[in-house]
Structure formats: C-alpha cells, structure tokens
Amino acid sequence: MKLHYIDGHIQTILLAEYPDKLLLLDGCCRSDVAMLKLFITQNLQRPFSDLALIVVTHMHPDHAGAANKLRKITGCKIATANVSGQWYSGLEGRLMHLTDILLAKWVAKRMKKPHLNFWYSSQLNADYKLNDGENLPGFTEWVALATQGHTDRDLSLHHLPSNKVYVADLIVKVKNKYIPPFPIFYPNRYRASLHKIITLKPQSIILAHGGEVCLTEHDYQHLLQLAPTIPKTHWRAVKGRLKSPRSLISNKR
C-alpha cells in the first residue's frame, strides 16, 4: 500500500493505492473532483474506475462534497459511520448546510485559493455503514473508529500495519498549534474520542488540516484542556455575539 498526500482545495486528500484498487480516505470538496481525476489518470497512470471505496468521515463540505459525484462517475462505493438519519435534516439542517458551505468558502479565501464551486447535496446514502472497530470493506488492514464530537458521526481510520490514524477534523493544526475543531456539538463525546486516540498510541496521526504529525503527551493534554465542556456551535456563537453589546459596538468601529 502506498499512501498519497494530495493538496486539495482546502484540505489534505489521502489516497491509498493498491495494485488492484484505490481507497479515498475522505470525500473531499466538490471542487477537487477534476484534480483527483487528473492525479489518478495521469500521475498514477490508472483508470479513474480503479477508485473502489470512499470513506466519508463526516458531512462537512471538505469531507463529503465530492462523494456523490465521484460515485456517479467511477461507480465506487461510499462508506460512512453507522448513524441513523441525515446530519443535515429538517429546516435547521438545511440552514446549517448553507452555513457550512459559506464557512468553507471563507476558509478558501483566507488560504488565497481560487473561487470554486463548493455546492453539494446535503443528503448522502451510503453503500456501507461502519460500526466502531469494523474493517473497511475490501480494505481489511484499515479499521473504522467512531470518534464523534465534532458531529454525531465522525470517523477516524486506523491503518493497522503502520499504526497510523487519519483523524479527519478531530484535531486541527493552526499556526503550528493543535486545537479542537469548530464546531463541537458533543463535548463529552469529543473528549472520549481524544482519549480513544491517546490510548491507541499511534505511530503518527494524519490531520485533514495539518498533514501527518506526531503529538506528544503535552500536546494531547493541551488539547484536552482546550476541549469545551459545553457545545460550541454556529447558533451558540451567533447568540453569544448578539448578547454582547461590546462585540456589536466593536464591530461598528
């Protein structure tokens, strides 16, 4: 197995190459489809249809945005966490979907990336639903780990032979510092997920935003200290701003 690290629109894309098939460790941005096709067909000199499985670790635009389109083009299968329902459900879910797309656009702008289309369906019907500790279909050296907290269905992917773990957005690297992601809907689950990774004692972890890194015990303890004890969500952030007259005044200056 060879693991390719590809610069996506706003995140690192991880593509595991095997002699007879390819595994995409997350669902990318919609805007990554053309670049991913070019990498597989030109750099790897393989047919695009060799893409056999995409694991969608959660439903945010840079992790699920290309999944439906890639399945339609290549015929690949999609695997997600075994959680019932859709993450973006109901009116509130649709509003959150739009907010997350706008947030992704803002991130791209801050990274000085080109203005590309982030739009993707808020609904995803997986071919496989994975339980905690279950091997990936057709890729048995990879194990799915339930690492919820950021959302209700986050997955990390543990490569057993190398003892490396792709943790998606469980941890974010900003200015060479490791911090919890935003949002965190389930703070207790988030802390439990951090402890799960710590207990594994991985050789290294791979971040969607920060690449492959080796965290020290001090790094993990710092993350646990930063981890919120109450949910940090879009709506709570807005309410906090509205309740603070100072923030409103400062914004007008």
- pLDDT number for residue 237: 58
Average pLDDT over residues 15-35: 98
pLDDT of residue 253: 42
Report pTM. 0.93
Q: How far apart are CA 207 and CA 29, in angstroms?
A: 16
- The token pair at 72 is 């339609």
Fold of 2-226: Metallo-beta-lactamase; Chain A (3.60.15)
- State the pLDDT confidence band at 234, using cuts at 50, 70 and 90: confident
Q: Is pLDDT above 80 for 10?
A: yes
Handedness of CA 11, 12, 13, 14 (dihedral sign): negative
- Say if residue 115's pLDDT is above 80: yes
242 pLDDT more than 80: no
* Cα dist from 253 to 176, 246, 248, 249, whole Å: 31, 11, 9, 7
* Residue of higher predicted confidence among 241 and 145: 145
pLDDT at 249 exceeding the cut of 90: no
- Predicted confidence band at 247 (pLDDT cuts at 50, 70, 90)? very low
**8 A C-beta contact, residue 174 and residue 217:** no
pLDDT the model gives residue 11:
98
What is residue 60's predicted lDDT score, i.e. its pLDDT?
Answer: 99
Q: Is residue 251's pLDDT more than 50?
A: no
Pull the structure tokens for residue 151: 């959302």
Q: Is the pLDDT of residue 244 over 90?
A: no
Query: What is the 3-state secondary structure of 165-232?
Result: EEEECCCEEECCEEECCCCECCHHHHHHHHHHHHHHCCCEEEECCCEEECCCHHHHHHHHHHCCCCCE
Position 107 pLDDT exceeds 70: yes
pLDDT at 248 (0 to 100)? 42
Task: List pLDDT tens digits, range 203-233.
Answer: 999 999 999 999 999 999 999 999 999 999 9
Quick one: pLDDT at residue 109?
96
Digit-coded pLDDT (tens) for 162-216:
999 999 999 999 989 999 999 999 999 999 999 999 999 999 999 999 999 999 9
Q: What is the pLDDT of residue 31?
A: 97
Q: Check: CB of residue 104 under 8 Å from CB of residue 118.
A: yes
pLDDT of residue 204: 98
Look over the chain and give the mean of its residue pLDDT values, rounded to a whole number: 94
